[in-house]
Structure 1
Amino acid sequence: MNNVRPRVLVIHGPNLNLLGRREPNVYGSLSLDEIDRRLREKAGALGLDLEIVQTNHEGVMVETIQKAMQGYAGIVINPAAFTHYSIAVRDALAAVSVPSVEVHLSNIYTREEFRRHSVVAPVVDGQISGLGPLGYLLALEAVAAMAGEEK
């Protein structure tokens, strides 16, 4: 019997390592460690294994996305600032054929004009914006459901 649990990549982009200290009025008071703890709990309840990566570097994000082609069931990604201009991140997401959901803690559509456009949105399966840390948990549920449908 095969008891291998599906693996999901969670990718946090630039400056998210500063959560809890960086503009808590915009991004909330939870640290990234706390968000990751909640994600691991949710993953356990969903029967998933997680690999969580935080990077401030575009190339590392691209290489991490490409890893999804090596047996991952899906991607939950908060590209942060790369959302708005990184064609490299967009192209990497377009190249992998696993379910992916873009997450933003704040509602990018109510913020500065430059934050209202996502180059990533057209190549992911869904986007959750403005629900704070809950958005990550909902994205994980969505990826799990989409991955289950593909079997």
Structure 2
Amino acid sequence: MTVASALAEWLSKIESLSIDTNHITDGSDKYGLFKAPNRDIKNHIDGSYEITEYYDFFARQASVSQSDRQDSDEWLENLSYMADDAGTIYELPDLDGNRRVISITLTGAPYVMESGSNEVLYHMSISVTYEREREV
């Protein structure tokens, strides 16, 4: 399983969402997770290493009424807290292939990326740090 798939599955379990990877469909209450092009690596003496990968999470929410927009703000705030509590309240996702998730962090506050008459596209950046043991 890819890290992106594990992250999408983890977010889906906690928030009961259906999240596409590398795609977001039209319509409200649609979600997409895209891998960003940057990656950080920290090598350890024992041959293992830590990898931090970055992801862009998009949420398309209804914005017809003021209450829709307030609901979206509250939902995004709660999603931010969920990311803050990753590893303490919420169990981190499982990975295969000698990999173990160390942390999930919200690296940027949710913001409006695009606004239309009926929907708003929100964006937030998420980092996942995991450890991988090399096979020797």
TM-score (ref. length: structure 1): 0.26
Larger radius of gyration: 2
